[in-house]
C-alpha cells in the first residue's frame, strides 16, 4: 500500500528540525532511517501530514570517544556501529548492531531512531540498559540529558516531547575486568527477535563484582532483571549462582503470547539466553575473544 500524502520538509540542522516540529504541530514526524516509520506509513498505521527529514543534517552520524565514554550521533547507522573498531571496544555493542535484521535495514536504521521508536522488540534499548547510557535530547529550550532507564516510558513511548529529538547517545566505557554479551533468538534474520538477553559483568577473579542484565521482547519495554543481577553480584559465578540468576530472569519476564510463541515458551527461552550470555560475558571479561551470534529457529 502507498502511504497517505504528506508534506516533505528537509531540515538543515537539528535545531531547525526542532523548530519545524514545533511549528507544524502534532501531525509532524521526524524521518531518520525510515526503517520503522515508512513500513508503518505504508500500512497506514502512521499517517503524519508532515515529514521532517534529518538525513541531510551534516555531522549527525559519528562515533567518538571522549572522557571515558563513547558518543553516538543520532543518525549513526547500525552498520556503522557494526563495523566500528571504536564501538568494538564494548563488544556487546557489536553483538547488537551486527544482529539487527539484514544488511539493508542495518545500512539505513539509526541508533537515535531505534531509541525514539521504543519498540518493545527493538534491540538497542536492551543492550544499552546494561551499560551506563544517557540520551541527549534537544528541544526548543536547549539540550537536556536523560538516563536511558528514564527515557523509555512504555511501549512506543519515551520521555521526548513532541518538539524534541534525540541529539546524541552517550555510553560510558565499562570498568576494567568487564565483559558483556547480547544474544537473541530469531526465526529469521529480517525479523525482530522472539526473545533476547543482554548481560554485562565486571569480574574480579571468579567473583562477579557487578552485573547488569536486561531482557528483550518479554515485556512492554526492555526489562532490567535486577533480581537476576543480585543473584550474581558479589558472588562466584558458579552453576548455582547462574541457575539463581536464570530463575530470577524467568520470573521477572512478562511475555505476551503471539505468533512467535506462547508466554511459557518465551519465558523458558529468555532463561536459556541469559545463561548463554552470562557464559560469554564471563569469558570476555577474562579477555578471551568470543564470537557471539544470534540463534535462529
Ligand X SMILES: Cc1cc2nc3c(=O)[nH]c(=O)nc-3n(C[C@H](O)[C@H](O)[C@H](O)COP(=O)(O)OP(=O)(O)OC[C@H]3O[C@@H](n4cnc5c(N)ncnc54)[C@H](O)[C@@H]3O)c2cc1C
Contacts with ligand X by CB under 6 A lie at 29-37, 39, 74, 100-101, 105, 108-110, 112-114, 116-117, 119, 122-124, 160, 165-166, 190, 192
CA 166 – CA 110 distance, rounded (Å): 11
By beta-carbon proximity to ligand X, the closer residue of 186 and 233 is 186
- Minimum separation from the CB atom of position 207 to ligand X (A): 33
- Minimum separation from the CB atom of position 178 to ligand X (A): 23
What are the C-alpha distances in Å from 281 to residues 14, 178, 210, 220, 286?
A: 37, 8, 12, 26, 9
By beta-carbon proximity to ligand X, the closer residue of 39 and 257 is 39
- Minimum separation from the CB atom of position 32 to ligand X (A): 3
Residues 96/131, Cβ–Cβ less than 8 Å = no
Residues 135/148, Cβ–Cβ less than 8 Å = yes
By beta-carbon proximity to ligand X, the closer residue of 86 and 105 is 105
By beta-carbon proximity to ligand X, the closer residue of 11 and 208 is 11
- Minimum separation from the CB atom of position 141 to ligand X (A): 16
- Grid cell locating 221: 519495554
By beta-carbon proximity to ligand X, the closer residue of 91 and 113 is 113
- Grid cell locating 67: 572522557
One-character DSSP codes across 105-161: HHHH-BHHHHHHHT-TT-SHHHHHTTS-EEEEEEETTEEEEEEHHHHEEETTEES--
Beta-strand pair 178-186/195-204: antiparallel
Residues 102/136, Cβ–Cβ less than 8 Å = no
- Minimum separation from the CB atom of position 284 to ligand X (A): 22
By beta-carbon proximity to ligand X, the closer residue of 77 and 233 is 77
Q: Which of 75, 1, 73 is nearest to 38 (CA)?
A: 1
- Minimum separation from the CB atom of position 297 to ligand X (A): 14
CA 180 – CA 235 distance, rounded (Å): 17
Residues 182/123, Cβ–Cβ less than 8 Å = yes
- Minimum separation from the CB atom of position 117 to ligand X (A): 4
By beta-carbon proximity to ligand X, the closer residue of 190 and 234 is 190
Dihedral class, residue 276 (left if φ above 0, else alpha if ψ from -120 to 50, else beta): alpha
By beta-carbon proximity to ligand X, the closer residue of 74 and 211 is 74
Residue nearest to ligand X (CB): 109
- Minimum separation from the CB atom of position 112 to ligand X (A): 3
CA 296 – CA 121 distance, rounded (Å): 16
Amino acid at each position: 500500500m502507498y502511504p497517505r500524502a504528506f508534506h516533505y520538509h528537509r531540515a538543515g540542522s537539528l535545531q531547525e528540525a526542532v523548530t519545524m516540529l514545533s511549528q507544524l504541530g502534532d501531525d509532524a514526524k521526524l524521518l531518520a532511517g525510515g526503517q520503522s516509520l515508512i513500513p508503518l506509513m505504508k500500512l497506514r498505521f502512521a499517517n503524519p501530514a508532515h515529514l521532517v527529514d534529518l538525513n541531510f543534517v551534516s555531522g549527525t552520524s559519528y562515533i567518538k570517544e571522549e572522557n571515558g565514554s563513547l558518543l553516538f550521533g543520532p543518525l549513526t547507522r547500525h552498520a556503522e556501529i557494526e563495523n566500528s573498531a571504536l564501538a568494538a571496544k564494548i563488544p556487546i555493542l557489536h553483538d547488537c548492531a551486527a544482529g539487527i535484521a539484514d544488511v539493508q535495514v542495518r545500512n539505513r536504521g539509526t541508533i537515535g531512531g531505534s531509541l525514539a521508536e521504543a519498540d518493545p522488540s527493538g534491540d538497542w534499548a536492551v543492550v544499552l540498559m546494561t551499560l551506563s547510557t544517557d540520551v541527549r535530547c534537544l528541544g526548543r529550550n536547549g539540550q537536556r540529558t536523560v538516563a536511558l532507564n528514564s527515557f523509555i516510558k512504555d511501549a512506543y513511548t519515551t520521555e521526548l516531547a513532541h518538539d524534541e529529538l534525540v541529539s546524541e547517545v552517550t555510553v560510558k566505557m565499562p570498568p576494567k575486568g568487564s565483559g558483556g554479551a547480547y544474544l537473541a533468538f530469531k526465526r529469521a534474520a529480517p525479523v525482530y527477535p522472539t526473545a533476547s538477553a543482554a548481560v554485562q559483568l565486571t569480574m574480579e577473579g571468579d567473583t562477579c563484582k557487578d552485573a547488569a542484565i536486561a531482557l528483550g521482547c518479554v515485556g512492554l519495554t526492555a526489562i532490567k532483571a535486577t533480581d537476576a543481577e543480585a543473584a550474581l553480584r558479589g558472588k562466584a559465578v558458579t552453576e548455582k549462582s547462574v541457575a539463581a540468576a536464570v530463575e530470577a530472569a524467568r520470573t521477572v519476564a512478562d511475555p505476551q503470547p503471539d505468533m512467535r510463541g506462547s508466554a511459557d515458551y518465551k519465558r523458558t527461552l529468555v532463561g536459556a539466553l541469559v545463561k548463554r550470555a552470562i557464559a560469554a560475558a564471563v569469558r570476555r571479561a577474562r579477555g578471551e575473544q568470543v564470537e557471539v551470534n544470534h540463534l535462529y529457529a
